[in-house]
Structure 1
Amino acid sequence: MDYFIVAITTVAGLYFHWWLYVRIRRWMERDLALSMAAGDPAMQRYMLERLAEAKASGVRRGQLDEWLHQAACEYLQRRS
């Protein structure tokens, strides 16, 4: 019975840490996209759409910064 309790507690702890890691990573990606919007509500919506597109396209985390930066530049050029 003791092993069962330890196993359940370990699995629950590992799941919680995985869940927390995923949430923090999502928050960081969202904050990255919103930081490039510079407080403009229309650009914030656009950047969140591009973030969703990047996730759907399978853009890796290491390339996400450059990908979002390019999207922000395209938005600013289109507005000008």
Structure 2
Amino acid sequence: MDYFIVVITTLAGLYFHWWLYVRIRRWMDRDLALSMAGADEGKKAYMLKCLDNARAQKVKRAELAAWLEREAAGYQAG
């Protein structure tokens, strides 16, 4: 019974750390996209849409900043 408790606790801890890691990465990516938008609300929505597109296209994390910068440069206010 002791091993069962240890295994369950270990698995729960590993899952929690994985979940926290994924959340922090998402928050960092979101903050990166919003930082490129400045105070423009339209551009913020556009950049969040671009971030969703980047995730759908499976843009690598190392390339994400450059990819978002290109998208931000192509933003047309309107």
Same fold by TM (over 0.5)?
Answer: yes
Q: Which runs of 5+ in 2 are unaligned?
A: none
Identity over the aligned pairs, expressed in percent? 62
Counterpart in the other structure of 1:36:
36
Question: Counterpart amino acid of 2:16?
Answer: F
Q: Deviations over 1:19-70 (max 9, x none)?
A: 0000000000000000000111000000000000000001000000000000
Q: Which runs of 5+ in 1 are unaligned?
A: none
Counterpart in the other structure of 2:57:
57
TM normalised by structure 2 equals 0.96
Alpha-carbon distance in 2 for matches of 1:4, 1:54? 41
Counterpart in the other structure of 2:16:
16
Alpha-carbon distance in 1 for matches of 2:16, 2:59? 26
Counterpart in the other structure of 2:48:
48
Aligned length: 77
- Which is richer in helix? 1
